Amino acid sequence: MASTSPPTATDPALVAALRTDLAAAAYTVEGVSDLLGPLAGAALAREQVLPAQRATADAGTPLATLVRLFGLGDAVDTDDVAAALPTLGLQGAQSLGLVREQGPGVVATCDLRPYGDEDHAWWVASDLAEIATREPLHEDHVLGIGGASTTLASWTPRPVVGRALDIGTGCGVQALHLGAHAGHVTVTDLSERALDYARFNAALNDVSWEVVGGSMLDPVAGRQFELIVSNPPFVITPRTPDVPLFEYRDGGASGDAIVAGLVRSIGDHLVPGGIAQFLGNWEVVGDTDWRDRVRGWVEGTGLDAWIVQRDVQDPAEYAETWARDGGHHSATVEFATMYAAWLDDFASRDVTAVGFGVVTLQRPLGDRDPFVHLDEVGGPVAQPMGPHVLAGIRARTWLAEHGDDELLSVAWTAAADVTEERHSRPGDPDPTVILLRQGGGLRRSVRLDTAGAALLSVCDGTLPARAAIAAIAQLLEVDEDALRPDLVALLRELVADGLLT
């Protein structure tokens, strides 16, 4: 068990005093970045604390004290802490459960750092990371701001909704984002320790959430929401005593069953038109395609699905990643034992790779066949991706609800971020390769033939696609009926991904 309890939010006056002091010290993402500078900031992102310790050691400011105390896990002089928290005071910080005495100084009992997006600034408390404790994590560790949570926050569509749900909230990172565009936010988690952190973070940021305990969707049985997000415990972990089961990443099921079960059950909790967004891992068995496995999860749910695989690892890479994740180092016996357990577990199911990606599901508004789009995009994408995801869901919904005749009746327009590249061999009068590139969104690259390039050249919002195809067929001296199917398929692809609007 973890050695200290999460901070408490039972005294609103103390929480308000902490909020006042953090704001006064400019304890913000920008403030910390400016203090550390690019070298120390980049090193800290790689979990190397020494450059940050050097940058803050002699700064002598409340901001530097807060970074050393809550971000680096250093022992700090009591007078410095009192100066950095003048409204709350050292005794108030102890009453909240934020610090404890250690020798002549004070150390933090939790990680507390600034966080935000383009329009909001927050603070997030969580358990101290390994770089602060200098020891492996406890199994009930409550994770703070990490790569998975920021990825999910970036990819989540943000329509204005009345009711939103965060499944497996942890310390509440996704709920902070939801509160900016949802009238009512419900958060769930199996871990009471995580829920205590969520309650504290809600109070610290002066927001209100409905906090309920329980596993996955169990606490909201019979309820529906307009938007559901989740950074679920998706890590595929061997069910053996040799591997610690961290609550923040391990759902207690074998293989990828946690994510599969979420895909199959979440539709019951979506209102018509409601959207679910979450992260997941999936196993690739033998020489099969990952799409075959994931498509099987979606079939029969009645949900629209847009699933993007962002990364893939072989079993050894996956084992190394997650054996190291808990703070165990590769030179230890514990690491080697866990590594072997993962390899044995994957071999028992003939798993040859593990995919990671983003799952977007929607419950259709009416009675129609759902769409299922399974894409693989490994390169850089727009940040944030949420606006593109929402536009992509809206476009795919329109395509699912409208036939080819309606598609061809629209005068489409190439999006502002779309450009065309033409490549040719030296001396050749005509291009051998024509590429359509998307500057934002998924940064798609689509190879066009002559007819496709001709169609895109007239997509300026003035000529319906049907008339454009007729003119192109005449220009190329080909049969219009033979040309149309390929160009209709191209139109659908480009509309779905936002290259045409």
- Is the pLDDT at 54 greater than 60? The verdict is yes
The DSSP string of 326-355 is TT--TTSHHHHHHHHHHHHHHHHTTEEEEE
Q: What would the two tokens of residue 193 be? A: 């320790």
Sheet containing 270-285, strands listed edge to edge, beginning at the edge strand earlier in sequence: 210-213, 182-189, 161-167, 225-230, 270-285, 351-362, 304-313, 372-376
Average pLDDT over the chain reads: 95
Q: Span 107-116, mean pLDDT?
A: 96
* Helix (H) or strand (E) run with residue 437 in it: strand 433-438
Using an 8 Å Cβ cutoff, are 129 and 112 in contact? no
* Helix (H) or strand (E) run with residue 189 in it: strand 182-189
Q: Which amino acid is at 81?
A: V
Q: Span 32-58, mean pLDDT?
A: 94
* Helix (H) or strand (E) run with residue 121 in it: strand 121-126
- Is the pLDDT at 326 greater than 80? The verdict is no
* Helix (H) or strand (E) run with residue 212 in it: strand 210-213
- DSSP 3-state assignment of 100? strand
Q: Span 473-488, mean pLDDT?
A: 95
Q: What would the two tokens of residue 419 be? A: 């450009």
Question: Cα separations (Å) of 353 from 234, 348, 413?
Answer: 15, 13, 40
According to DSSP, residue 250 is labeled B
| Phi, psi for residue 337 in degrees, rounded to 5 | -65, -45
Using an 8 Å Cβ cutoff, are 175 and 209 in contact? yes
Closest CA to 364 of 298, 412, 291, 279: 298
Residue of 136 and 8 predicted with greater confidence: 8
- Is the pLDDT at 216 greater than 80? The verdict is yes
**Cα separation, 19 vs 10, whole angstroms:** 15
Per-residue pLDDT at 252: 82
- Which range of 252-256, 428-432, 443-447 scores highest in mean pLDDT? It is 443-447
Using an 8 Å Cβ cutoff, are 237 and 322 in contact? yes
Question: Cα separations (Å) of 193 from 119, 136, 141, 170, 189?
Answer: 29, 18, 8, 9, 9
Q: Span 22-30, mean pLDDT?
A: 97
**Cα separation, 289 vs 299, whole angstroms:** 16
- Is the pLDDT at 2 greater than 60? The verdict is no
Q: Which amino acid is at 432?
A: T
- Is the pLDDT at 75 greater than 50? The verdict is yes
Closest CA to 257 of 236, 238, 242: 236
Q: Where are the alpha helices (DSSP H) in 85-123?
A: 89-96
Using an 8 Å Cβ cutoff, are 286 and 353 in contact? no
Residue found by looking up tokens 């929607």 in the block? 362
Report the Cα 58 to chain-centroid distance in Å: 36
126-157 per-position pLDDT tens digit: 999 888 888 888 889 999 999 999 999 999 99
Q: Which amino acid is at 183?
A: G
Q: Span 207-230, mean pLDDT?
A: 97
Q: pTM for the full model?
A: 0.95
Per-residue pLDDT at 3: 59
The DSSP string of 129-166 is PHHHHSSPPPTT----S-HHHHHHHHH-----EEEEEE
Closest CA to 204 of 88, 74, 376, 67: 88
Q: Which amino acid is at 96?
A: L
Per-residue pLDDT at 243: 87
Give bridge partners of residue 460 from the DSSP assignment.
413
Which distant-in-sequence residues (6+ apart) come within 8 Å of 255 by Cβ? 236, 283, 349, 351
Binned at pLDDT 50, 70 and 90, residue 1 comes out as very low
Per-residue pLDDT at 324: 86
